[in-house]
Structure formats: structure tokens, C-alpha cells
Amino acid sequence: MAKALIHEKEDNVGVLISDTKQGEEVEVFYIADKNPLTKVVSQDSIPLGHKIALRDIKQGEEVIKYGRIIGVATKDIKRGEHVHTHNLRSKRWSFPLRR
């Protein structure tokens, strides 16, 4: 069984701490707790260190990781889907660069 971590209770994505295969059950742990908060079935094969959706996320909704907004969903994301550049626009570099 694969595992994922969250750092804040409001996170809507978890970070996988092992590779997962499509259809595999993933236990989701709050970083400060030994018992899983929830389980989610992976809809995709997702590599270690990547994000998995912990609930449905609507297009235009903010994606929260480590208690911080990291981006906006560019399309609807279903619970258990891989969350990455194909369905997420980063907010980390969305400010103008100084020249």
C-alpha cells in the first residue's frame, strides 16, 4: 500500500512518499500523526514525490499543499488523480520579474 503525507489539515493534495499504481489504495497521513487520516484510490500511476488529489478539485479552484496555495486547477481534477503540470497552473512564479 502506498502512502502520502499532508502538512496541514486544509491541504487538498497529498505528497506521495512512494510510487503508486493505478487502482492502488493510498493511505494519507498528517505529518504529525501516526494514524492515517483517510485513504484514497489512485486513479493514475503516480511517482514518488508527486501530488495526489485528496478530494475533487474544480477547474479554477486553488490547489493547497503544505498549507499554501501552490496553483490553480486548469481543469476538473477527480479524487485520486495525479496533480501536476498537465492540470495545474503554478502560482509560485505568477508575478512579474524585475529587470
pLDDT the model gives residue 97: 46
Residue 37 sits in which domain range? Answer: 2-90
CA 6 to chain centre: 9
> Facing residues of 89 across strands?
72
- Could you read off the pLDDT of 38-72 as tens digits, one per residue? 999 999 999 999 999 999 999 999 999 989 999 99
Which domain CATH number covers 81? 2.30.130.110
- Could you read off the pLDDT of 21-43 as tens digits, one per residue? 999 999 999 987 888 889 999 99
DSSP assigned state of 61: P
d(Cα 87, Cα 74) in Å, to the nearest integer? Answer: 5
Residue 74 counted as domain residue: yes
Number of structural domains the chain divides into: 1
What predicted TM-score, i.e. pTM, was given to this entire model?
A: 0.88
How far is it between the farthest Cα atoms of the chain?
49
Residue 96 counted as domain residue: no
Residue 44 counted as domain residue: yes
